[in-house]
Structure 1
Amino acid sequence: MRFNFFKIFILMVLLSTAFLSVHANEASDFERQTGLASYYSDKLQGRSTASGQPYDKDKLSAAHLSLPFGTLLRVTNLANGKHVIIPVNDRGPYRDKRIIDVSRKAAEALDMISAGIIKVSIEIQK
């Protein structure tokens, strides 16, 4: 039994290392994206994000389909030039043409509450 546990443990370590290196390469290859942004519904308050952190509408956070958790993004509202630096802590959005979902606090900083969906550019903050 102990031998099988050891094999499984080693396999998990190898797989997680491969997964992390793929996502790290994705972040280093990422320059800039332009597309649509939306913001989280208040109904999601307190629910767990993909990173395990609870969603808090009063904190800055974002969902991106592939960038590693913790990546800081500069999100700019292309209509008014307002921008905010937001950490990625969730996966999504899962709607056509949307490239990022942001928390309510980030949406307020971008002045997008009334519009709901806006055109943005996102860049990794270095």
Structure 2
Amino acid sequence: MTSTGTCNASYYDTGSRTANGESFDPNGLTAAHKELPFNTRVRVTNLANGKSVVVRINDRGPFVSGRCLDLARGAFVTIASVSAGVINARYEVLK
């Protein structure tokens, strides 16, 4: 993953543990990515409305073709309605 770009992002709200061993918090400002190191901070902006949220990578995924980020529900609802399910997003790796 490059430091900035656009992709489809979705959300998830089930699970008990994340890939880094933390308890999963569906209301947290966290996300899953296939390759970024754990604890990397990423700004995710919903291209449809300009709202953004900063998340911390603590899990692996998404495992659906065409998506690059899976946000915890708490992060997703800050920038989109849950009913949207999937959004077109801009991402920026902050650290």
- Per-residue CA deviations over 1:65-111 (Å, capped at 9, x if unaligned) read 10000000000001000000000000100111101000111011012
Q: Is the counterpart of residue 40 in structure 1 residue 12 in structure 2?
A: yes
Q: Which has the higher contact order (CA 8 A, sep 6+)?
A: 2
Deviation (angstroms), 1:55:
0.8
Q: Structure 1 unaligned runs (5+)?
A: 1-25
Q: Report the TM-score when normalising by structure 2.
A: 0.93
- Count of aligned pairs: 95
Q: Which position in structure 2 is the counterpart of 1:89?
A: 58
Show structure 2 runs of 5+ residues with no match.
none
TM-score of the aligned structures, taking structure 1 as reference length: 0.71
Across the aligned residues of Structure 1 and Structure 2, the Cα RMSD in angstroms comes to 1.3
- The structure richer in helix per residue is 1
Distance in 1 between residues matched to 2:50 and 2:7, nearest whole Å = 15
8 Å Cα contact 1:36/1:99 also seen in 2: yes
Q: Which has the higher strand share?
A: 2
Q: Structure 2 CA distance, aligned partners of 1:88 and 1:112?
A: 21
Cα distance in 1 for residues equivalent to 2:10 and 2:28: 16
Per-residue deviation, 1:112: 3.2
The alignment-based identity, stated in percent, is 44
Residue 61 (structure 1) aligned with residue 36 (structure 2): no
